Structure 1
Amino acid sequence: MTDREILRLESVGFVRESRQILSDITMTVRAGERWALIGPNGAGKSTVLSMCGAVAHPTRGTVHVLGRKLGRVDIRELRESIGHVNPRHSPGSPLTLRQVILTGATGTTELMSRWVPDALIQARADELIEMLGLAGLEAAAWPTMSQGERGRALIARALLPDPPLLLLDEPSTGLDVAAREQFLATIDALHRARPDLATILVTHHLEELPATTTHAILIKAGRVHAAGAAHEVLTTEMVSGCFDHPIEIEHRSGRWQARAAARG
């Protein structure tokens, strides 16, 4: 891990249709840090992630992604350096697993017309297929794959251009318990294999956090409720305050668990 800055949001505010969505959001992510972004429904998590992914611009404040300030950079070029795992990814045509992974080179949902991946991209795809336990599934059609297989394929797609920043938007959506645990083991293995990779994972559930999580930010009503080292932020007091409900937090064997606490 290095001290290289990957992402910085400074006093960010965001207004949509006269409604204040975010206010005074500040956070800095450095190489090798693995952040959890947590908060109630409607708290503004998706909007924060859209800033991190250079998809939305702030109404106020500044956002620097990979050393470049939003508003002063070619957004399309910048996005090519950001991996994004979205479980709602849905190709319009029945692509194979390998084809879906290759779309990571162009940042598109479909394969681009007349585009042919070069030998380096092909080799990179082979490496990721092997690393993520997808060998033998290269020709599987996307509609026939399990949610767990799709999740791993989307990680491979996001990593194809070898980005320094990986965003995971509720990646456990639709997974059963076994598939979720397999997916989290994959994320932990990825962190160990790529120690300088910075990640931000959005979730509602602390049970869906990989053991390699290092930092956390709690968002409440569009503001930062707490941010910092995971073990200092993901506590009973902090999480209960964020969700306005008594929630007991346990950290055991590297993983977090949450359950409603008895009132009074």
Structure 2
Amino acid sequence: MRAGEAPTLRLNGTLRPDAWRGAFAAHRRLHVPEILTPRSARELHQSLVEAEDWVRCIHLAAGQDVDITMAELDAMAEADRIALEHSLVDSCTDSVKYVFDKIRITSQLEAGGAVSAPMRAIHDFVNAPAFLDFFRRLTGDARIDRADVMATRYLSGHFASAHADELPNAKRLYAYVLNLSPDWRADQGGVLMFLDDDGHVAEGYVPRFNALNVFAVPQVHAVSAVSRLATAPRYSVTGWIHAR
């Protein structure tokens, strides 16, 4: 695949979502390895590595996002950049906080903004019948209507604190994370952690390459901070499955 070309995206033909429905119903979450064909996973990973429209997303409290382009970050002195992130994250409140890079694919399309061919291909893939039917068969939920999507990139120190993905009037049914980080280990951080009522980690999903994590909304979860052991970014394609 040449730089700038749209990836070829296809689900793995050996998937058995009907057989996994009972496990998903019991636990309200599931880790599905090898979700895409090998070629699709390689090309999608390449698209994210080559993408140039990342923004640094910093969130202090509900409804308070700060998006900073890479050009704006590069123009800042390192000390000023670190101070900015710390000033927004180091808060005494218990609201959700996060720092990571993203490309807001669906929201940019809905706003009439420019989206690259690879990013448009990702949006079209998650809204194609094959992807949505996979979720209907896995969950048995006939309310499923559409998906939204964004690309994410976690660098060293990036994280997302505990939250449940609830958003009034958004009609989110399920969240999904398609992981695209080759050779990732748990000690590199970036683990999708599900928390119990006592705040303990009930279960954690390492971001295995070409694995899909799916869970019902609401469900309290967090992403652990990426450690300095990580030699490459933690890439993923993520979003929500919505009712009509």
Scaled by the length of structure 2, what TM-score is found? 0.26
What is the TM-score normalised by the length of structure 1?
0.25
